[in-house]
Structure 1
Amino acid sequence: MGKECQPEKEPLFLDHLKKVDPGKAAIVDLSLSAPIELNYGQLENLANRTAQGLIEKGIKPGEFVAYMMPNSWEFVVVTLAIWKIGAAACPILPTLRDREVSFIMEKSRSKMLIVPKEFNHYQYKAMADRIKLNLIDLESIVVIKSRDPFDIEHCLGGLAQNEPDLEEVNGRSPTTLTDAQLLFTSGTTGEPKGVIHTHGTLSYAVHAHTKTLGLTGRDAIWVPSPLAHQTGFLYGMIVALSLGAKQVLEAKWDVETARRAIEDYGSTFVQAATPFLADISREPNPPIGLKIFVATGASVPRRLAHDATSALGCKVVGGWGSTETCLVSVGSPFSNDEKEWGTDGQVIEGMEMKITDNEGNEVTPGREGMYRVKTPATFTTYLGHHDWYGDVIDENGFFITGDLATIDKDGYLSITGRVKDIINRGGEKIPVVDIENILYMHENIKDVAIVGMPDERLGERICAYVSLKVPQAFSLEDLTSFLESRNTAKIYWPEHLELIDELPRTVTGKVQKYILRQMIADKLQIKS
């Protein structure tokens, strides 16, 4: 479903920046007690100086440059500098540690690693020194100590040179086919995969997104999602840069910092995961000022989306995307149809999506099946494993997402689960997402995840992990009675309840169900 993919030649991010008024606000960094603010002229100057520093460190076009830092002005400057010299960005989540960082550094063969000296009480220089011993390609570690962008001598760990050679920098400018980004997937089911995007694929994704949502340079983009993940990187930082808009960066999640971003600095747009939406909308005095909240990265409980729309006074819409394909569907902020927040939206113009059976045949509207997408924003390969790329791109060029979904007669997408998350209870397939959405309506439930637990007779039974809004007595009978009151078929009722303080999630908000499945399997093994 959707128009046939026809790539357009969109201006690259660096070309957009040349047209922005240098005096216009570019960055508000809220990572320190006193905000750091940069305009576009200052951002361009810092990026050029840092690009020169990369050249002098021996970074060549086409190489991956690794950097590990929180949402900050430094992250934006380093990304632009890498691109200016034709190299590719390899951002690493600051929550990762020795093992994961070593893996990414080894695979990317980056000659450089840029880190803060310390962030969130963790010493990054010490970690970098430890892993360097086993990385034959790593030549230099740049440690950021001074956070002052106007500290010429110590800025960006001394990487930002005083006088850039603009002729040399500009001579390395990338094209649409130049690799721009290397991001590693979370690796929840196996070895993390290195996803490679070009300037062309990312430019297309951003242009299609901003056009669909009607975003302009007059908007201010709030970025609480990690910049080292596609949600923050592309739909926060790059959206802002491509529009010539202001971006407001939040490094450590805090509701009051979010309030400053929205109310004090005029943020109008954000794309982020469910926990961010839940936290600000459930405040007794929710921050007001946002116009659009695109909730992605995890299934959004329909009750939460409905309540948040009222609490925040903004449009809350759903959407679906992946590291490999970028965003493919999104709800419209210009419609009052409940489907805009009650589904994962409609296909973005220029992209395609369809639901198929296991053999790849497209099914009728409303029927559940395998979700496949096709877009000019699709990644080009997995680093070092082009065979994996062939496994997920079908003969018609569609990316096999691994999600189960439906598309209704009006073209609205609803993700119903993951292929690997299916609970098969004695041959009966359990509609996991539907049950979770019903349980989210319970007045005492804050969070819920349904997973399969091993059973000798049925293969699997249904286990509910529940986080409560307020600690209190809560039983399986409370859960099933509620489902009965909602006329839910008994075969879909959970047969076991586990109370948990917080569900394990990735940094982008996805519930790590594999952890929950292992937890209940281990518990049952102990009991047996």
Structure 2
Amino acid sequence: MDAQPILPAARVADLSARGLWPDRLLIDALDEAAAGAPDALAIVDHNSMTGRSTRMSYGTLRSHSLRLAAALAAHGVGRGDVVAVQLPNWWHHAAFHLACVRIGAVINPLMPVFRERELQFMLGFAEARVLVVPRLFRGFDYPDMAAGLRSGLPHLAHVFVVGGDDPATSVEACLLDRAWETEVDVDSLFRARRPDANDVTEIMYTSGTTGQPKGVMHTSNTLACKALLANQLFGFRRGDCIYMGSPLAHQTGFMYGMCLAIHNGAPCVLQDIWDPVAAARLIAAERCTITVASTPFLADLVHTQAGHRHDTSSLRLFMCAGAPIPRVLIAAARRSHPGLYVMSGWGMTEMGIATATSPGDPDEKVIETDGRGLPHQQVRVVDADGAVVAPGIEGRLQARCATSFVGYLKRPDAYGVDGDGWLETGDNARMDADGYIRITGRSKDIIIRGGENIPVVEVEELLYRHPAVEDAAIVAMPDSRLGERACAFVTLRPGHALDFRGMIDHFTAARMMKQYLPERLEIIDAFPRTPSGKIQKFKLRERARTLTAHRDDNPRRGSST
């Protein structure tokens, strides 16, 4: 697979000259950490399938990466070949990525929830040469699924299984139990295979909130730049410990858990199955200080009373991104975790964190915005003609970031970056006079009712405040007269009820203008989500295509599904 990065010479020269692209590989940080403090803790994980926990030092992590690198090379993995890793949050994920970096291969993290339909496309499109899967996770047989895919994937040479019982495919038997690094001159091998810091080192498929995913390509320099800026944003200090419950197969976990920890020689505590009580117990036991996750993780940690029995006072920072944060949730977090700073932010797989609030910001900025552009991460809001709009006016959000990706795999036409380096994010936003933005929805989330735009996020946030509502999303449903009307999808808190009239009374009491009111209520058991927790609004829009507005003479209320 030939992953061709889009790297204008002027961009490389500029970012290198400013020290933002340090030409440093992740293995350089690993080797330095292992040399300086080989016994220092690198990873803590727990395998929910075996019940075994692992505490791995930097010295041991380095040894495993050397062995896996030599083993992969011996199995024919060449420079630029794709190694797809579909693993939960286990230490193996880090070891395989580091091994790939050593031999110039490209890692492609895949969510454990992906099944045949997604994998057939993703593995085939990336021309993956190796697939690494668990023997069993959450009761699912991954080797059996992989066997069914092989005939349609001519480039896939090997499937290796963590905890596998077949010695021909087991990661342990094939790769880890044999001293591959002693059978070849690894110094010469790794020196010859060492990639350039501007070579593609990671392909991460977008989450799929709007349809077919695209393969986002990152280099060692773009990832190292993310770590550099995150250190400044988080105020990273000696003794910090990262807790990561977000999947390592998502950019949040991959970059701000695994990679950020290794760049700093710090420990990373992993959780493979999300459970807020277990998360609180891990944070307390390991004295974790920093985490990054999407809104549902914060909501669970705040609202699960059983988790409050554990002393999580070490956790000083929760970077909450990936979806708008309801104002009521931030207020609840302050009450239940008074020493915790909830940092609101916005970012994408394409560039990582681009905007954030900061400690010391006024409350209204933390609660009502998604922060402002970080140093070297520029954002702006433009109108339909590309002109920058005045403060407070909604428009298209564009970003120009030092951490920006280097293209979509095999899709140079989809790059969406203009000649000045501005990326069309696909989000709409408003920017205030101080430069703080508020995401108002995806471009495709716009509801235009009779020629008037409905502020989707504002309506959603008000709906969140209803005591019966657990989660909410507003999407468009077609209308022959007005073009579109708003449909509210909600999940309810246990023991609560809500009907259409109750929803309208709630909005009316808050003095929301009539044109913004949702005209249908659908009660559902659970939202369709990406593995990272984002609501897949395109699926809700599909459901809304056949729905019609509530009528007083036809009081059909939202159906439970």
Q: Which residue of 2 aligns with 1:249?
A: 270
Assess if the C-alpha contact under 8 Å between 2:460 and 2:474 holds in 1: yes
Confirm or deny that 1:291 pairs with 2:312: no
Identical aligned pairs, as a percentage? Answer: 37
Match of 1:79 in 2: 97
What residue is the counterpart of 1:120 in the other structure? 138
1:510 to 1:187, Cα distance in 2 relative to 1, 3 A: closer
Deviations 1:203-262 (A, max 9, x none): 111211121211134111111111111111111111111111111111111122201221
Given the alignment of the two structures, is residue 9 of structure 1 paired with residue 21 of structure 2, yes or no? yes
> Residues 310 and 336 from structure 1, CA distance in 2 versus in 1: closer, same or farther, beyond 3 angstroms?
farther
Relative to the length of structure 1, the TM-score reads: 0.94
Partners of 2:488 and 2:173 lie apart in 1 by 48
Q: 2:47 matched to 1:27?
A: no
Please, which runs of 5 or more residues in structure 1 have no aligned partner?
none
- Note if contact 1:98-1:131 (Cα within 8 Å) is conserved in structure 2: yes
Shift of 1:524: 4.8
Q: What secondary structure, in the 3-state scheme, does the structure 2 residue paired with 1:19 have? A: helix
Q: Residue 173 of structure 1: CA displacement? A: 2.3
**Correspondence for 2:84:** 66
CA distance in 1, matches of 2:426, 2:171: 44
The aligned runs of 1:206-245 (5 Å cut-off) are 206-245=227-266
| Distance across 2 between alignment mates of 1:247 and 1:432 | 37
Task: Summarize deviations over 1:443-482 as a string: whole Å, max 9, x none.
Answer: 2211111111111111111111111112433211211111
Q: Secondary structure at the match of 1:89?
A: strand
Deviation at 1:182, TM superposition (A): 0.5
Given that residues 211 and 538 in structure 2 are in contact (C-alpha distance below 8 angstroms), is that contact kept between their aligned partners in structure 1?
A: no
Q: CA deviation at 1:306?
A: 2.0
Alignment check: 8 A CA contact 1:356 1:371 kept: yes
**Cα contact 2:351–2:404 (8 A) shared by 1:** yes
* 1:402 aligned residue (426, 431, 437): 426
CA separation in 2, counterparts of 1:468 and 1:258? 24
Measured against aligned partners, the alpha-carbon deviations of 1:236-294 in whole angstroms (never above 9, x if no partner) come to 11111111111111111112220122111111111101111000100225352311001
Write the mapping of 1:325-404 to structure 2, written as runs, cut at 5 A: 325-335=351-361, 337-389=363-415, 392-404=416-428
Contact 2:209 2:537 in 1 (8 A): no
Match of 2:196 among 159, 171, 175: 175
| Residue 363 of structure 1: how far off its partner (Å) | 1.2
Partner Cα distance (2:173, 2:394) in 1: 53
In structure 1, what is the Cα distance between the partners aligned to 2:417 and 2:19?
A: 18
**Secondary structure of 2:47 counterpart:** coil
Distance in 1, matches of 2:361 and 2:382, equals 28
Inter-partner Cα distance in structure 1 for 2:466 and 2:270? 34
Moved more, 298-307 or 180-189: 180-189
Matched residue of 1:106: which SS? Answer: helix
Runs of at least 5 residues in structure 2 that lack an aligned partner in the other structure: 1-13, 557-561
1:163 positional shift: 4.5
Cα distance in 2 between the residues matched to 1:243 and 1:334:
25
Q: Which of 153, 156, 160 is equivalent to 1:135?
A: 153
CA distance in structure 2 between the partners assigned to 1:347 and 1:375 by the alignment: 9
Asked if the contact 1:182/1:197 (under 8 Å) is kept, the reply is yes
Residue 321 of structure 1 aligns with an amino acid whose one-letter code is G
Q: Cα gap change, 1:352/1:157 in structure 2, threshold over 3 Å: closer, same or farther?
A: farther
Say whether the 8 Å CA contact 1:62–1:86 is kept in structure 2: yes
Q: Which amino acid aligns with 2:407?
A: T
Identify the residue that residue 435 of structure 1 maps to in structure 2: 459
Letter in 2 for 1:371: L
Matching of residue 37 in structure 1 with residue 62 in structure 2: no
What's the CA shift string for 1:309-346, capped at 9, x where partnerless?
32123000111111112211112135454413431112
Equivalent residues, number: 518
Q: What is the CA–CA distance in structure 2 between the aligned matches of 1:175 and 1:396, rounded to whole Å?
A: 25
Deviation at 1:436, TM superposition (A): 0.8
Residues 157 and 465 of structure 1, relative CA distance in 2, 3 Å threshold = farther
Q: Partner letter of residue 141 of structure 2?
A: Q
Structure 1 position 410, deviation (Å): 1.3
* CA contact 2:204–2:217 (8 Å) conserved in 1: yes
CA distance in 2, matches of 1:206, 1:408: 28
Q: Secondary structure at the match of 1:133?
A: helix
Q: Does 1:106 align with 2:124?
A: yes
* Residue 120 of structure 1: how far off its partner (Å): 0.8
2:434 counterpart letter in structure 1: D
1:277 and 1:190, CA in 2 relative to 1: closer, same or farther beyond 3 A?
A: closer
Q: Which letter does structure 2 place at the counterpart of 1:373?
A: A
Distance 1:220 1:485 in 2: 45
* 1:138-180 deviation digits (Å, cap 9, x = unpaired): 1111112169xxx9x9654521341414313431222221211
Corresponding residue SS for 2:32: coil
Deviation at 1:12, TM superposition (A): 2.9
User: Which one is further off, 365-374 or 209-218?
Assistant: 209-218
Among candidates 528, 531, 537, match of residue 504 of structure 1: 528
- Structure 1 counterpart of 2:186: 166
Supply the AA of the counterpart residue of 1:411: G
1:274 is matched with 295
- Computed over aligned residues only, the root mean square deviation of the Cα atoms, in angstroms, reads 2.1
Give, as a single letter, the amino acid of the residue that structure 2 aligns with 1:251. D
Deviations 1:92-128 (A, max 9, x none): 1110011211111111112111111111101010111
Q: CA separation in 2, counterparts of 1:205 and 1:191?
A: 26
d(CA) in 1 for partners of 2:109, 2:334: 33
